[in-house]
Chain A
């Protein structure tokens, strides 16, 4: 760096986003007077084609060696302008950005103060830019495979797309079968497609596809590495059934000593299963699993004289000695598709979900009306002799959605339409039933939604605007206390069955994968995408993508669309065959390093090791950075006693001038 840098400063108006608050001309004039600055220009949209051409031409004509773009956040357009520099033949790491939009014009309405702050921010960027260094981006090979966490419709769709493109997929599902929430649904809105009919062929495809390794009843244990080269450990939980031998005949479940005693997860708790079970008849793979929490033999060490399942299993598939197995796999990219949980209705105690049997959630209703459900699709309430068809049915919407008191401010997006669908199914099964829906608003925004909502109302479902305050029992009836807010009439509505349209929440287990992968959450607790508009399937970690409801509530078409988007994004590094590794890595000055090894201990990625070098005839130990492993966090730099290890682009020498520029309080 012997030559004096020639700096070009480009101040963006961003339409009026910056220019309406900050006097950009004055800022540019100020910048032009700073040492080293050759030119300072303003333009309406610096990121547009003409803006970039202006920068490119200046680099070529004025021989600029540094570019300072003062516009939006570097998290937004740093890659854009890096490309501009590269196209003009300048090293892309000679770029520095000053964030005068997100950190200045948008948050400080006082024009004078904002202009003054913008000048400071640009001074700091110019100060840093002088000492920037050229960096080289290296390519490393990418493992041609993808890990997909979650075997719901999102995971299944993404797996099929990637496998069809010719790459290996590892599909890891926590439960014994793929299918997820969609497999629990009866019909889908607004077309009334049978959910199982459209899903099961896809479920079968994932088992038969030669490029998909399906790992059900498995959990991701650990993930190391980075885009292109993730090392994943998967725990295959013991099924206590040899899946090679199990034929799925079901004799074992028939004979199980706790048969029909355990609430079935698939039937949302209203049906019962045995301790050895197939979650549902169409489960994939069709292999039985022993639930270690309920199996008598596994919990008490004794099940009669000998476990019945073992006795009746013809192929001899039962194996109580089976242990969890850890499988190591290497993948290039990861798709997280962990789905959702329904809101726990007992968190709204006034609605009586815990107190009354005839207050049920929509997911339970879904199982009640489903032909594969515990009642074979007959809608019946009450026990034994008392079983009867409900006549008066009330749906209550927005339970656990749009409700600050339970911490969920968001709309769950699917409840309005699934309520309409369930109301329709009720009318189909019990034509003379009186069905009413208590709602706050009806949001029928998707393709065919409004038409379906109209149809359901024409079928005689009454929509009453009001948010029930309490539900209590009166004889064998339930009383819904509510005010019809359109007519301001308080009502006490006697019904047989109340269905709570519960909202969607991130699945509890998402927390595990979230901490393994260091993913961010949005304020609604769903996983956060890299950009709400332009990078909806990416996360802030390269090579990790989101699909389905783990990112936010959505219906099946949106989930499938996002899964396809995530699949295509995950395919990019695989089909390219390589990924660019971080160029802003740490570097050791071996002349000053004293080989204390502090940095080796600090590095979270084990990217630093001590090596022996010949130092004027002496053998000494110095630190050395493995650039393929280093992620450029810079923790080592702050811990180095001699300042010998430095994060490129974030060296002490580059940050200190920034501090100096911002510290000086002169006008």
Chain B
């Protein structure tokens, strides 16, 4: 591994679309950066906005939430809740001085392994440019 900064990215993927899409990327041996680590949830609607802050606080440099395309949610409208909630979260993060590129959302269906690769590559590249995220770390807040 080279000496350049390797960001640590936590991703929340819905079971039905994006997790399946990432599985298909595996089955198709489509290579993408290893920086991303996935937590499976049943639906992006399950992703509590606090998870994003928590991940950044725990040492992630970037966070991704990815689900079914709007209108294709396995649970009818869970991704719509996610889009609205997490969109607000993104605005809030920008407001408190966090670069909004640190938290991204994407819609990757179960048949889009190449899109998954693109999403991951772009996110890793952007986060690498942004450098390590230290604003939220506990030692900085000093509790």
Query: CB within 8 Å of B: which residues of A?
Result: 73-76, 99, 101-104, 106-110, 112-114, 116-117, 120-121, 124, 515, 518, 520-523, 528, 540-541, 584, 602, 604-605, 631-635, 637-639, 647, 650, 652, 655-656, 658-660, 662-665
Contact = CB atoms under 8 A, between A and B. Distances in A.
B88 to A, nearest CB: 12
Contacts of B57: 663
Contacts of A120: 37
A123 B60 CA distance: 15
B37 A662 contact: yes
A633 B25 contact: no
A659 B31 contact: no
Give the interface size bracket for B toward A: 35 or more
A520 B73 CA distance: 9
B111 A521 contact: yes
B32 A103 contact: no
Contact of A634 (B10, B29, B30, B43): B43
- The 9 A-B pairs at the shortest CB distance, nearest first, are namely A663-B58, A102-B26, A634-B46, A635-B45, A633-B75, A106-B26, A633-B43, A663-B59, A604-B76
Contacts of A106: 26-27, 29
B54 A656 contact: yes
Interface stretch (B16-24, B94-102, B122-130): B16-24
Given A120-B37, A660-B58, A639 B74 contact: no
A604 B48 CA distance: 17
Contacts of B42: 584, 632-634, 647, 650
B37 A124 contact: yes
A638 B46 contact: yes
Contact of B8 (A632, A634, A637, A663): A663
Interface string B104-127: 000001111000000000000000
A109 B26 CA distance: 11
A631 B10 contact: no
A120 B58 CA distance: 14
Contacts of B32: 107-108
Contacts of B1: 110, 112-113
Interface in B20-70: 20, 22-23, 25-27, 29-34, 37-43, 45-49, 51, 54-60
A103 B38 contact: yes
B75 A107 contact: no
A468 B19 CA distance: 43
Given A73-B26, A665-B59, A635 B39 contact: no
B110 A124 contact: no
A71 to B, nearest CB: 12
Contacts, number: 162
B111 A522 contact: yes
A634 B55 contact: no
Contact of B25 (A107, A109, A113): A107
Given A103-B38, A638-B45, A521 B109 contact: yes
26 contacts: A75-B15, A102-B23, A102-B26, A104-B34, A107-B26, A107-B30, A108-B34, A110-B34, A113-B34, A117-B37, A120-B37, A124-B39, A518-B72, A520-B72, A520-B111, A584-B42, A602-B45, A633-B74, A638-B48, A638-B81, A659-B58, A660-B54, A662-B55, A663-B57, A663-B59, A665-B59
Nearest to A109: B31
A541 B47 CA distance: 21
Contacts of B20: 75, 520, 540
B49 A102 contact: no
Given A99-B38, A635-B43, A655 B51 contact: yes
B48 A658 contact: no
A522 B16 CA distance: 13
Given A656-B54, A663-B10, A518 B111 contact: no
Contacts of A584: 42
B31 A107 contact: yes
B92 to A, nearest CB: 15
Nearest to B22: A103
Residue picked from A76, A114, A650, A659, most chain B C-beta under 10 Å: A659
Given A633-B78, A635-B78, A663-B58, 4 more contacts: A73-B26, A107-B25, A638-B82, A660-B54
A101 B25 CA distance: 11
Contacts of B41: 634, 650, 655
B64 to A, nearest CB: 12
A109 B30 CA distance: 10
Nearest to A76: B23
B67 to A, nearest CB: 11
